[in-house]
C-alpha cells in the first residue's frame, strides 16, 4: 500500500527545506505560505500535487534579450538532451511575463536522506538556471 501524503507532509517538507537551505527562521512562514523561495538568487516556486505525491518546481530564469531570444530558445532545446539522469527539466516561457521558466518535479521528501536529495535537485536547477541566465544576458 502506498503512503498517503497530505498537505501537512508537504508543509513539513518545506520547513525542513528552509532549515537545510539555512533560511532565516523569520522567513520560514512566508516561504511556506507563498510556496516560493530564492536559492542562489533564482526565484523558485513550489506546487504540491497531493494526488501524485510530487512537488512541481519552477525556476524563474528571467526574460531573454529580444535580439537573441531565438538563439536562447534553440540553446534550451539543445540542452534538454544533455541533462544527466535522473535530473530532467523542461524549459518554457511564461506567457504573462515572457520569462524563461525551468520546470521539474520531485517526489515529496519524507526523511533526512530524501530531504538532502531534494535540496541537491534544487541546487542542480539553480545551477542550470544560472547558466541559462548568463546566456540571456548576452
Q: At what angle do helices 25-34 and 7-20 cross, to 10 degrees?
A: 140
Counting the structural domains of the chain, the total is 1
CATH (domain of 76): 3.30.1460.10
Q: What is the pLDDT of residues 49-96, one digit of tens each?
A: 988 889 999 999 988 888 877 887 888 777 777 765 556 778 888 999
Least confident of 11-15, 78-82, 95-99, 109-113: 78-82
Residue 31 pLDDT greater than 90, yes or no: yes
Whether 57 is covered by a domain: the verdict is yes
Whether 1 is covered by a domain: the verdict is no
pLDDT given for residue 74 in this prediction: 82
Which has more confidence, 88 or 123?
Answer: 123
Whether 14 is covered by a domain: the verdict is yes
Domain that holds residue 73: 7-136
Amino acid at each position: 500500500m502506498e503512503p498517503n501524503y497530505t498537505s501537512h507532509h508537504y508543509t513539513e517538507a518545506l520547513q525542513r527545506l528552509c532549515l537545510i537551505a539555512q533560511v532565516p527562521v523569520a522567513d520560514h512562514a512566508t516561504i511556506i505560505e507563498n510556496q516560493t523561495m530564492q536559492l542562489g538568487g533564482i526565484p523558485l516556486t513550489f506546487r504540491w500535487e497531493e494526488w501524485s505525491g510530487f512537488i512541481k518546481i519552477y525556476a524563474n530564469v528571467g526574460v531573454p534579450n529580444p535580439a537573441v531570444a531565438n538563439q536562447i530558445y534553440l540553446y534550451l532545446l539543445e540542452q534538454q538532451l544533455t541533462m544527466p539522469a535522473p535530473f530532467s527539466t523542461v524549459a518554457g516561457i511564461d506567457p504573462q511575463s515572457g520569462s524563461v521558466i525551468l520546470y521539474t518535479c520531485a517526489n515529496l521528501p519524507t526523511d533526512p536522506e530524501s530531504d538532502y536529495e531534494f535540496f541537491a535537485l534544487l541546487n542542480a536547477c539553480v545551477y542550470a538556471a544560472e547558466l541559462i541566465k548568463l546566456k540571456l544576458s548576452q
